[in-house]
Structure 1
Amino acid sequence: MTHCHDVIGIGFGPANLALAIALEEEEAGLDMLFLESSSAGTPWQGTMMLPGSDIQNHPVRDLVSLRDPRSRYSFINFLFENGRLLDHLNLPLEFPLRKEYAQYIAWAAGHFAEYVEYDSRVTAVEVEQRDGEGPVYRVTTSDGQHRYARTLVVGTGRSPYIPAPFDGTDDARVCHLTRFLPTITALESGGTRSPREIAVVGGSQSAVELTLYLSRRFPESHISVWSRSYSLRQKDTSPFSEEGYFPQFTEYYYGASREAKRTLDAYMRPTNYSAADGDVLRELYTLMYEQRLDGDERVRLLGHRRITDVRPGPDGVELAAVETVTGARDTRSADLVVLATGFRDLGPGPHQDRFPPVLDTLADRFAYDSEGYLRVSAEYLTEAAGTGTPPLFMNGLCESSHGIGDAGSFSLLSLRAKTISDHLRKLKV
């Protein structure tokens, strides 16, 4: 009979890497396997590895330290083992550089290579009845191979959010931020001229970082930042608001009604969404001001704009928009359009995924609340709609049930890993 693992993790980004570490350090004794679609050595957030960009969270909120500050897999120990601890501590930066944190993640992942199959894109997940085993998951990958597991942990990250009208556009000159650097490389290697007109859509940290990067890489280009709000906004980094990234808030949020959750979401949203850190906002504002002094305004902010139509053509991508306060309409052309529009959360809304896309065939096996949200326990275990469905955990996908601390950041990564690890061990027993 084909081997059946205790647990298969789909995805081996930071969320499932933190889980693998927790399972090892807490001696769970589980037969685990992780399936990762990217190649070994692919850097974390490699498509956004912009020079000078940082991770926007405290380095001690790493893969392990909140769970066990003595772990050998901490960011501090990574620096120590690589002879960079004093150099790093001497850096005049609030947060670590993104490229150094990517090296940290690769270093930690390298210790678990025996548990990971890279270049393994999951194409189907089904439930199969096995003699003597009961129901198990059959996971099929793009090479046609089947792997079996008694439990799944889904840590794929969220799907890119491509808003209308871009969701109906298939043009190489329009890219989501998750394809940013490969798109730039392809554009330059294709022998085409540098883009003269660039549109960056969104008002997030990524939108500001991308605008600054593009202004340096293509200094002769004109860059327009299209924002739905009046202007760009600074993140709420008050220590009071930041307590939304404490486990106490996660517990509080989890127990709230859906209506109360919406109120909490509205309060916490500026800490992470449609806002940017003060350092990059100041840099961008200074750049725009200096360009106006020089009479050469190449970076412009177009606020209160809702893009209503996209028309790719031989001479560029035409964007039609309405100014939402005055109702004025205008049309502009761009040689490159970058969507800094974020990601989809789990939920029933038009901007959400009912279920992680990799598991769409299983969606009807699980229970939903009266508003259509997936029912997930405090331990990140999905609630089955009936009998015969093996356990399935969501790792890093549960903002709609657990709040802002589950928004894809490192903030509570190690504590969530411990919660899932503890529950997996109970299932084993």
Structure 2
Amino acid sequence: MSVPLTETTDGLNGDVPSDVLGVGFGPANLALAIAVEEDDPELSVHFLEGRQDPLWQGGMMLDGSNIQNHPSRDLVTLRNPRSRYSFLNYLFEEKRLLEHLNVAAEFPLRKEYAQYINWATQQFGDRVELGERAVAVEVEEYRGEPVYAVTTDRGVRRTGRSLVLGPGRTPYVPEPFDALTSPRVIHLTRYLYQLRSLTAAPARIAVIGGSQSAVELTLDLSRRFPDARVVDLVRSFSLRLKDTSPFSEEGYFPAFTQYYYGTDRAGKRELDAYMRATNYSSADDDVLKELYLRIYEQRLDGDQKVFVQGNRQVVAAHDDGTEVALRIRETHTGEITEESFDLVVLATGFRDIGPQPHQEPYPPLLAGVIDRFRFDEDGYLLVNPDYSLVSDHPGTPPLFLNGLCESSHGIGDAGSFSLLSLRAEVISNGARSRIGAALTAPAVPVP
């Protein structure tokens, strides 16, 4: 039997807490909103989104680029194949189903999937405040009950009996670029936006990274600026083919998530090393072949402009106001070269939660409440199977991480759509059970 959680679902007055308060309204929390609507409508939900016009992967909406997952691994289908929020139903409602099925492509265009996500997002306007970027999280009391209070950069304040953090992962800017502020150095998340601010076509361009995004960006830059020298600098020997074996892809099954969660940290590191090539520092066959053919044809014409340089590590970067000078080390011979570029694009991915140099110990928004939660002996946040953080601090309401738990739940939590809808179901169920338990337990004063 469900426990009534609120007398009102007024998520906007700032006085009555929502049952679930979400930060961020990208695909992760959108999938959660849909799961609550379909499976547990008694839960009141409200979301804060920092962007006024949230466009999924807006900075990488490249012509011809596609998604890298089966289209039915969408916002809902694995959880509820009959949902009206499926990608298939979106195509049907947009009267594009037959035309789409007639396209000779394995995966949908990225821009079409972005339109699908936007279509679903627009149906939750009464539960989302756009243009409200959360800047602080606190715990306070509401009628003797501990709740979260979230404040935005515009001074708006919202409360919730539980908090679901789904802001997406922090872009990873490695050394030496992390100490460099330059309009000529851009992370892939800002790629298309910042290209629009260029006052002249760049003649020398560097792409940093060996991922799918790095290959896509190298191809896109060579098309946009056909006279430019475009160099992809890769730390490994060269670009690598993504592991798309159906056996490896079972790492994106719920059973693997459960298995990974139950292993110790040494086992997790071993599994990470195996699964890495399914998602990181590798690219799909189609873009690799396109890039290789482009380079081959340019060599054939005696006019090579696109280059892939492996075993390269950028060790210093300096912007003199007109160009970016890079100091580059060959990783095996130690040879140092220097080259200047008009534009540097960082295809360097994102930070996961953890203590390693390329990670961050916890989501920065939680700085004000992080002392309520536990870390393991290796420095990782302790996360329950339902994606809630472990706390032994009395008076701490449930807090869930949505799409930030790769270090505890494995590759299926790596920012892809693969397990998005199933994770939303787990979090929805977890919120219901934990809030219900809190309301039937004796009141605990908030310290």
TM-score normalised by the shorter chain: which range applies?
Answer: over 0.9
Q: Supply the distance in 1 between the matched residues of 2:239 and 2:48 (Cα, whole angstroms).
A: 39
Letter in 2 for 1:233: R
Q: Supply the distance in 2 between the matched residues of 1:28 and 1:374 (Cα, whole angstroms).
A: 31
Partner of 2:98: 86
Q: Supply the distance in 2 between the matched residues of 1:302 and 1:331 (Cα, whole angstroms).
A: 14
Q: Supply the distance in 1 between the matched residues of 2:33 and 2:220 (Cα, whole angstroms).
A: 35
Q: Does 1:54 align with 2:80?
A: no
Partner of 2:171: 160
Q: CA deviation at 1:326?
A: 1.1
Q: Supply the distance in 2 between the matched residues of 1:264 and 1:160 (Cα, whole angstroms).
A: 24
Q: Does 1:321 align with 2:328?
A: yes
Residue by residue over 1:175-209, the C-alpha shift from the partner in whole angstroms, topping out at 9 and shown as x without a partner, is: 1001101110011xxxx321000000000000000
Letter in 1 for 2:122: G
Q: Supply the distance in 2 between the matched residues of 1:2 and 1:418 (Cα, whole angstroms).
A: 28
Query: Map of 1:26-425 to 2, 5 A cutoff?
Result: 26-40=39-53, 42-130=54-142, 132-187=143-198, 192-425=199-432
Q: 8 Å contact 2:162–2:397 — kept in the other structure?
A: yes
Q: Supply the distance in 2 between the matched residues of 1:27 and 1:163 (Cα, whole angstroms).
A: 42
Instruction: Give the 3-state SS of the residue equivalent to 2:151 in structure 1.
Output: strand
Residue by residue over 1:245-279, the C-alpha shift from the partner in whole angstroms, topping out at 9 and shown as x without a partner, is: 00000000000000000000000000000000000
Query: Which 4+ runs in 1 deviate beyond 6 A?
Result: none
Instruction: Give the 3-state SS of the residue equivalent to 1:254 in structure 2.
Output: helix
Q: Percent identity?
A: 60
Q: CA deviation at 1:24?
A: 0.3
Q: Supply the distance in 1 between the matched residues of 2:208 and 2:364 (Cα, whole angstroms).
A: 25
Letter in 1 for 2:25: F
Superposition TM-score, scaled by structure 2 size? 0.93
Partner of 2:5: none
Superposition TM-score, scaled by structure 1 size? 0.97
Instruction: Give the 3-state SS of the residue equivalent to 1:112 in structure 2.
Output: helix
Count of residues paired in the alignment: 423
Q: 8 Å contact 2:257–2:409 — kept in the other structure?
A: yes
Residue by residue over 1:130-155, the C-alpha shift from the partner in whole angstroms, topping out at 9 and shown as x without a partner, is: 3x232211110111121111100000
Q: CA deviation at 1:427?
A: 2.7
User: Where do 5+ consecutive residues of structure 1 fail to align?
Assistant: none
Q: 8 Å contact 1:28–1:425 — kept in the other structure?
A: no
Q: Supply the distance in 1 between the matched residues of 2:399 and 2:289 (Cα, whole angstroms).
A: 44
Instruction: Give the 3-state SS of the residue equivalent to 1:332 in structure 2.
Output: strand
Q: Supply the distance in 2 between the matched residues of 1:278 and 1:55 (Cα, whole angstroms).
A: 13
Q: Supply the distance in 2 between the matched residues of 1:117 and 1:314 (Cα, whole angstroms).
A: 39
Q: Does 1:24 align with 2:31?
A: no
Instruction: Give the 3-state SS of the residue equivalent to 1:424 in structure 2.
Output: helix
Q: CA deviation at 1:315?
A: 3.6
Q: 8 Å contact 2:241–2:288 — kept in the other structure?
A: yes
Instruction: Give the 3-state SS of the residue equivalent to 1:186 in structure 2.
Output: coil
Q: RMSD of the alignment, in Å?
A: 1.0
Q: Supply the distance in 1 between the matched residues of 2:408 and 2:101 (Cα, whole angstroms).
A: 37
